[in-house]
Amino acid sequence: MYDLDPFNMINAKFNMINAKFDALTNVLAKKMEDLSMLVSSSSSSGSSQQVAYAEGTTSCGVDYREQAAYVVPSGALQFFSIPEGAHSMEFEARDITGFIWRYRLSTRSTGRYPKPYIVRSLWLPFVEQKGLAPNDKVMFFLTQDEENGIRYRVKAQRKIVRLFGFDFWVDVEALQHYYDL
């Protein structure tokens, strides 16, 4: 039999919201810890890290039946070194699990603007393995130091909630932990 007592129903709803809020608080604490470790490690090792590209995916970046490539903003080209006279470059980016993804960033050879994109054949495996959906966020990070040169990292995140005017994003690899709440 169902308990139709309004007080118990409200209390159960409150407990569910409280559990999700606790989970979000833990996520924020972990992100702050990661950020502080990143700041301290990058300043002590002499390397620098920059966000090379961060943008939400659209259906064109995810729905491979309709689009041939993943379009990258022209402003992000400053973080990728396409050789003079060439119209593409290959690069590797490590994800949060340590897997190395290979990409080819290309620009059109004619026209007024370079219109950069990541070719479909190398973008789709990432989309499929991460289970990306429209409005997920993909970020490329560039790290440069004297010992290792330029290295890239890639991260995909999904917005799980908007709370008090702020969006909370979670790495797609960690989504299952939040859906289990």
Which superfamily is assigned to 46-179 in CATH?
Answer: DNA-binding pseudobarrel domain (2.40.330.10)
Q: What is the pLDDT of residues 41-71, one digit of tens each?
A: 333 344 445 555 555 554 445 554 455 578 8
How is the chain split into domains, by residue range? 1-45, 46-179
Q: Give the mean model confidence (pLDDT) for residues 65-91.
A: 81
Q: What is the pLDDT of residues 136-170, one digit of tens each?
A: 888 888 888 788 788 899 998 888 888 888 888 88
Quote the pTM value.
Answer: 0.64
DSSP-based helix, strand, coil % in the chain, nearest 5 = 40, 35, 30
3-state secondary structure 79-127: HCCCCCCCCEEEEEEECCCCCEEEEEEECCCCCCCCCCEEEHHHHHHHH
